Amino acid sequence: MTYISNLMIPLLVLVVIGYGLYKKIDIYDVFVNGAKESFDMVFTLFPCLLGMIFGINIFLKSGALNIVFDLVNPFFEYLKIPLDIFPMALLRPISGSSALAILNNILESSGPDSFIGRMASILQGSTDTTFYVLTLYFGTVGIKKIKHALWVGIISDIAGMIAAIVLTTLLFST
């Protein structure tokens, strides 16, 4: 299986080149034009991405996260939800890679078959990076009116978080 998966990308490249030759397309020129267009796309995406990263860093460095932890801790204890899931639930709508890093830490420390490991895995699969999508993609194409999309995304993320907690509690609590 490893041998086959290692061959997939080179085979895909060969199929694309073969198709280009079959259609009599100048493959090199098309590749160079695509590379040129990617520079324009990077310059268009960079300000949106920089603004999002800057905002996240201000939030994290300000200590506001610790205040939020202190506020939600009694609520999480009452519902018997592990507090370690909260950073992931909070960061998942903002950054998929941050949430994935938190998921990785949870799985390494508690194991994938633990209650929190299962809850974190369900949370990862049932929510999306709403703010990332709105900032990057909407900003890139110039959409300014994002109010309704923002609310739909936030409500969907909250529903996914609640579903992850409820499903894990119903199916895997001891």
Tell me the per-residue pLDDT of 66-118, one tens digit each, with 9 for 90 and over.
888 889 999 999 988 998 899 899 889 988 888 888 899 999 999 999 999 99
Q: Give the separation between CA 154 and CA 122, rounded to whole angstroms.
A: 17
For the chain, what percent of residues have pLDDT higher than 90?
A: 35
Amino acid (one-letter) located at 130: T
User: Which of 156, 112, 109, 114 lies closest to 131 in space, CA to CA?
Assistant: 156
pLDDT band, residue 171 (cuts 50/70/90): very high
Span 19-32, average pLDDT: 89
What pLDDT does 174 receive? 64
Q: Give the separation between CA 170 and CA 118, rounded to whole angstroms.
A: 12
What predicted TM-score, i.e. pTM, was given to this entire model?
0.66
Q: Give the separation between CA 156 and CA 34, rounded to whole angstroms.
A: 35
User: Which of 106, 136, 135, 148 lies closest to 123 in space, CA to CA?
Assistant: 106
